[in-house]
Amino acid sequence: MKSKELIGQIIDFDYKGMGMTKLDDIPVFLDKGVIGDKVSYTITKDKKSFYKGRVTKILKKSKDRVESPCKYFNKCGGCDFLNYKYEKSLDWKKQSVNNKLQRISELDIKVSKVNSSEKTFNYRNNMQFQVKNGKIGLYMKNSKEIVPIEHCLMQSTNANKTLKILTKFKNLEKIKTLGIRTNYKDQVMLIISSKEKINKLNLILGNLIDANVVSIYENINNRTNAHYGDEFNLLYGQEYLEEKINKLYYKLSPASFFQVNREQAENLYNKAMEFLQVKENEKIADLYSGVGTLSLEIASRKAQTLGVEIVEEAIEDARINAQKNKLQARFICGKSEEILEKIQKDEKIKMDKILVDPPRKGMNKNLVDYLNKNSYEKIVYISCNPATLARDLKILKEKYKVEKVEIFDLFPYTSHVETVALLSKLDVDKHINIEIELDELDLTSAESKATYAQIKEYVWNKFELKVPTLYIAQIKRKCGIELREHYNKSKKEKQIIPQCTPEKEEAIMDALRHFKMIE
């Protein structure tokens, strides 16, 4: 079967942005293609519950296919949709977010608006290039191999000038990573990461200045799983870059987190302020506040502002940014739920509204529970991971109503998306919880016979995720699928049972649908 030529039409993308067709109702995940393409392909792997395949020829191009402007596309792992109409990629992102929201949060809520990016090229203000065997580049798709890169369409003019100069430098053996950061003035900060100190920087310094490089850092990094180590040494120029959002200015250090698409981040933050409806002297907390970008937007509207962040360096930068902009805001380092509880208990201060912008793993469970316990007038939730957003909304719906969800495309031509949700406090006197039993699923015995091993194999081959039997059982039970009595139960009274993560829940649900165990 592996050598047989087959024909199919691409009907969807997987979570990595790769094309998918079906063979006898079994998914086939292909190495390329866009929705609507008719292709010939061969099977490269038979995983029983699905196949992997390689496209040999595009027989009929999709009406939504375009010519990629990038010569590295399909080799470099940076972009997913450069050969797909931009507006169609937005449609797919909307559908993907809607699916996650409805499936995981179990809320009848859909994305109300998709905000496209005005700049779809040259929008990135921060990139890290890998160095291997004297070549500078980006990782191949699904690989640790390097694609040599001399020019990236996603970064600015001066960032590309810097990259081109660096590719001509011969002594790269000791360098692991080259970071190129830019700001609204297109000034460049270069971060050279290596296992030991750099000695021959002067050979390229003159040319780098021509590319508007105003700051050069060396970073000592002996880690194998991170772009940078902890030690940064200024070799040349300015200590930090200045960045701008709306009318506010921010200090940008080598390792500072800042949204990579500045113009679209500005639109996202303005929407967050619109959702918050900030009033003068209101008490508003910005949780996961980072260097204070959103906190200072709130403070500029004359609200009493609290920023809470677990990273001490970010708190220090936030305080500097507040001084820089002559704004009053309070920043505290610590866990959000603990800080909120402490100031409420010790200072008798309770926040009116909450803004959260957590990392990909979503909010800490203790924080979600705390927000439910101390219901606030509004919560505005900014998320870079729809799955963890949906997970948290599922819990928060006990005390809050999800009013609106909008998408902001901060990462054009990739499968990534940023989402902002508005939640308002439920009127408990008018709100009734209704529990619906799932008997209507009415599963037949034939539809329920996929084994745990088959489900595990499907999830691993499609998503490259390992899911234990416990997680599968949890999701089966959640879907109303009857489980056999477990006769080997733990005798511990207070055992701690790990709970399935949103990402793995989504993958298991996909498997259950594939095996027709749920619709």
Tell me: is residue 403 an annotated ligand-binding position: no
Ranges of beta strands (E only) in 24-111 are 26-30, 38-46, 51-60
Tell me: is residue 259 an annotated ligand-binding position: yes
Do residues 76 and 68 lie in contact, with contact meaning Cβ atoms separated by under 8 Å?
Answer: no
What span, in angstroms and rounded, lies between the C-alpha atoms of 286 and 303?
12
In whole angstroms, how far apart are CA 462 and each of 18, 49, 414, 420, 510?
11, 9, 19, 28, 10
Do residues 419 and 389 lie in contact, with contact meaning Cβ atoms separated by under 8 Å?
Answer: yes
**Strand 26-30 and strand 19-23: pairing?**
antiparallel
**Single-letter amino acid code for the residue at 229:** G
Do residues 252 and 242 lie in contact, with contact meaning Cβ atoms separated by under 8 Å?
Answer: yes
Nearest to 330 by CA among 277, 377, 364, 284: 284
Tell me: is residue 357 an annotated ligand-binding position: yes
What span, in angstroms and rounded, lies between the C-alpha atoms of 457 and 467?
9
384 carries an active-site annotation: yes
**Strand 126-132 and strand 175-182: pairing?**
antiparallel
Structure token digits, residue 19: 């094309």
Going 494 to 498 to 502 to 507, the CA torsion angle's sign is negative
* 469-478 vs 452-463: helix crossing angle, rounded to 10: 100
What span, in angstroms and rounded, lies between the C-alpha atoms of 389 and 496?
24
SS3 364: coil
State the catalytic residue, choosing from 70, 76, 152, 384: 384
N-to-C CA span, the chain: 30
Tell me: is residue 409 an annotated ligand-binding position: no
Question: Scanning the structure block, which residue is given the tokens 């020829």?
Answer: 57
SS3 332: strand
DSSP annotation string for 387-446: HHHHHHHHHHTTTEEEEEEEEE-SSTTSS--EEEEEEEE--TTT--------GGG---TG
φ and ψ at 308, to 5 degrees? -125, 130
Write the Ramachandran bin of 265: left for phi over 0, alpha for psi from -120 to 50, otherwise beta. alpha
Do residues 19 and 65 lie in contact, with contact meaning Cβ atoms separated by under 8 Å?
Answer: no
List the catalytic residues: 384
Annotated binding site for S-adenosyl-L-methionine: 259, 288, 309, 357
Annotated binding site: 259, 288, 309, 357
